Structure 1
Amino acid sequence: MENIPHLSTLSEVHRLIGYDRVGRDVLYAVARRYGVKLGKRYLFPRRVVEALLEGRLDELEPNKNPAGAGGER
Protein backbone atom coordinates (compact mmCIF):
# COMPACT_ATOMS: atom_id res chain seq x y z
CA MET A 1 0.00 0.00 0.00
CA GLU A 2 2.92 2.31 -0.53
CA ASN A 3 1.18 3.90 -3.52
CA ILE A 4 -1.46 5.58 -1.31
CA PRO A 5 -0.66 9.30 -0.94
CA HIS A 6 -0.55 10.96 2.47
CA LEU A 7 -3.86 12.68 1.65
CA SER A 8 -6.40 11.39 -0.89
CA THR A 9 -9.48 13.03 -2.33
CA LEU A 10 -12.90 11.44 -2.09
CA SER A 11 -12.78 10.59 -5.81
CA GLU A 12 -9.39 8.90 -5.45
CA VAL A 13 -10.60 6.81 -2.50
CA HIS A 14 -13.82 5.90 -4.32
CA ARG A 15 -11.84 4.71 -7.34
CA LEU A 16 -9.37 2.80 -5.15
CA ILE A 17 -12.04 0.96 -3.14
CA GLY A 18 -14.33 0.43 -6.11
CA TYR A 19 -17.44 2.23 -7.24
CA ASP A 20 -19.55 -0.90 -6.84
CA ARG A 21 -18.37 -1.56 -3.26
CA VAL A 22 -19.14 1.73 -1.53
CA GLY A 23 -21.31 4.72 -2.29
CA ARG A 24 -20.37 8.36 -2.21
CA ASP A 25 -22.71 9.03 0.72
CA VAL A 26 -20.83 6.51 2.86
CA LEU A 27 -17.49 8.03 1.87
CA TYR A 28 -18.73 11.51 2.75
CA ALA A 29 -19.81 10.23 6.17
CA VAL A 30 -16.38 8.67 6.73
CA ALA A 31 -14.70 11.86 5.52
CA ARG A 32 -16.71 14.02 7.92
CA ARG A 33 -15.76 11.76 10.81
CA TYR A 34 -12.12 10.88 10.08
CA GLY A 35 -11.02 13.16 7.25
CA VAL A 36 -9.52 16.59 6.92
CA LYS A 37 -11.54 19.44 5.46
CA LEU A 38 -9.62 22.05 3.47
CA GLY A 39 -11.99 24.65 2.13
CA LYS A 40 -14.87 22.75 0.56
CA ARG A 41 -12.82 19.62 -0.06
CA TYR A 42 -12.54 16.56 2.17
CA LEU A 43 -9.24 14.69 2.21
CA PHE A 44 -8.59 11.22 3.61
CA PRO A 45 -5.37 10.60 5.55
CA ARG A 46 -3.49 7.48 4.49
CA ARG A 47 -4.29 5.67 7.74
CA VAL A 48 -8.02 6.11 7.09
CA VAL A 49 -7.74 4.79 3.53
CA GLU A 50 -5.74 1.79 4.74
CA ALA A 51 -8.31 1.12 7.48
CA LEU A 52 -11.12 1.24 4.91
CA LEU A 53 -9.32 -1.16 2.58
CA GLU A 54 -8.47 -3.58 5.39
CA GLY A 55 -11.90 -3.45 7.06
CA ARG A 56 -10.63 -2.06 10.34
CA LEU A 57 -12.24 1.36 10.43
CA ASP A 58 -13.45 0.70 13.97
CA GLU A 59 -9.82 0.77 15.15
CA LEU A 60 -9.75 4.50 14.44
CA GLU A 61 -12.29 5.14 17.19
CA PRO A 62 -10.70 6.50 20.35
CA ASN A 63 -10.90 4.04 23.22
CA LYS A 64 -12.98 5.68 25.93
CA ASN A 65 -11.43 3.66 28.77
CA PRO A 66 -8.14 2.08 27.70
CA ALA A 67 -6.68 -0.66 29.87
CA GLY A 68 -4.35 0.69 32.50
CA ALA A 69 -5.52 4.28 32.10
CA GLY A 70 -7.03 4.71 35.52
CA GLY A 71 -10.67 3.77 35.39
CA GLU A 72 -12.70 2.39 38.27
CA ARG A 73 -11.22 1.56 41.64
Structure 2
Amino acid sequence: MDVGKRLLKVEEVRRLVGEDRLGRDAAYALARRYGVRLGKRLLVPSRVVEALLEGKLEELEKTPGVEARGR
Protein backbone atom coordinates (compact mmCIF):
# COMPACT_ATOMS: atom_id res chain seq x y z
CA MET A 1 0.00 0.00 0.00
CA ASP A 2 1.28 3.46 -0.83
CA VAL A 3 2.18 4.91 2.57
CA GLY A 4 1.62 8.49 1.43
CA LYS A 5 -1.85 7.79 0.12
CA ARG A 6 -4.48 8.12 2.84
CA LEU A 7 -7.64 7.97 0.73
CA LEU A 8 -8.17 5.26 -1.85
CA LYS A 9 -10.62 4.89 -4.72
CA VAL A 10 -12.98 1.94 -4.54
CA GLU A 11 -11.19 0.17 -7.39
CA GLU A 12 -7.84 0.64 -5.61
CA VAL A 13 -9.33 -0.98 -2.51
CA ARG A 14 -10.47 -3.95 -4.61
CA ARG A 15 -6.99 -4.35 -6.12
CA LEU A 16 -5.34 -4.24 -2.69
CA VAL A 17 -7.73 -6.70 -1.08
CA GLY A 18 -8.05 -8.87 -4.17
CA GLU A 19 -10.77 -8.50 -6.75
CA ASP A 20 -11.66 -12.17 -6.31
CA ARG A 21 -12.15 -11.62 -2.55
CA LEU A 22 -13.98 -8.27 -2.60
CA GLY A 23 -16.66 -7.79 -5.21
CA ARG A 24 -17.63 -4.45 -6.68
CA ASP A 25 -20.91 -4.20 -4.76
CA ALA A 26 -19.28 -5.12 -1.45
CA ALA A 27 -16.49 -2.61 -2.06
CA TYR A 28 -18.99 0.19 -2.66
CA ALA A 29 -20.96 -0.87 0.44
CA LEU A 30 -17.73 -0.67 2.45
CA ALA A 31 -17.00 2.77 0.98
CA ARG A 32 -20.50 4.05 1.75
CA ARG A 33 -20.23 2.81 5.32
CA TYR A 34 -16.67 3.85 6.21
CA GLY A 35 -15.59 6.17 3.43
CA VAL A 36 -15.82 9.84 2.71
CA ARG A 37 -17.40 11.63 -0.19
CA LEU A 38 -15.47 14.40 -1.91
CA GLY A 39 -17.77 15.83 -4.50
CA LYS A 40 -18.97 12.82 -6.46
CA ARG A 41 -15.96 10.70 -5.51
CA LEU A 42 -16.31 8.04 -2.85
CA LEU A 43 -12.99 7.36 -1.09
CA VAL A 44 -11.95 4.88 1.57
CA PRO A 45 -9.37 5.76 4.25
CA SER A 46 -6.31 3.50 4.14
CA ARG A 47 -6.77 2.61 7.83
CA VAL A 48 -10.11 0.99 6.92
CA VAL A 49 -8.38 -1.14 4.28
CA GLU A 50 -5.65 -2.10 6.75
CA ALA A 51 -8.28 -3.08 9.36
CA LEU A 52 -10.13 -5.14 6.74
CA LEU A 53 -6.97 -6.98 5.70
CA GLU A 54 -6.04 -7.68 9.33
CA GLY A 55 -9.56 -8.84 10.20
CA LYS A 56 -9.99 -5.97 12.65
CA LEU A 57 -12.80 -4.03 11.02
CA GLU A 58 -15.05 -4.48 14.06
CA GLU A 59 -12.34 -3.05 16.31
CA LEU A 60 -12.12 -0.01 14.05
CA GLU A 61 -15.81 0.69 14.65
CA LYS A 62 -15.11 0.88 18.39
CA THR A 63 -12.41 3.53 17.89
CA PRO A 64 -13.53 6.99 19.06
CA GLY A 65 -14.12 9.30 16.12
CA VAL A 66 -14.77 6.46 13.68
CA GLU A 67 -18.42 5.98 12.98
CA ALA A 68 -19.93 3.55 10.54
CA ARG A 69 -22.67 5.12 8.53
CA GLY A 70 -25.30 2.56 7.68
CA ARG A 71 -28.47 3.03 5.75
Q: Give the TM-score of the pair, scaled to structure 1.
A: 0.74
- What aligned pairs does 1:43-58 form with structure 2 within 5 A after superposition? 43-58=43-58
Alignment gaps of 5+ in structure 1: 64-73
Aligned counterpart, 1:66? none
Shift in Å, 1:62: 3.4
Code of the aligned partner of 1:54: E
Instruction: State the Cα deviation string for residues 7-55 of structure 1 (Å, max 9, x = none).
Output: 1100111111111011111111111111011122111111101011111
Q: How many residues align?
A: 62
Map 1:1-73 → 2, pairs under 5 A: 3-4=2-3, 5-62=5-62
What secondary structure does 1:25 align onto? helix
* TM-score between both structures, scaled by the size of structure 2: 0.76
5+ long unaligned stretches in structure 2: 64-71
Q: Distance in 2 between matches of 1:26 and 1:57?
A: 14
Larger Rg: 1
RMSD: 1.6
- The list of structure 1 runs, each at least 4 consecutive aligned residues, that deviate by more than 4 angstroms after superposition, is none
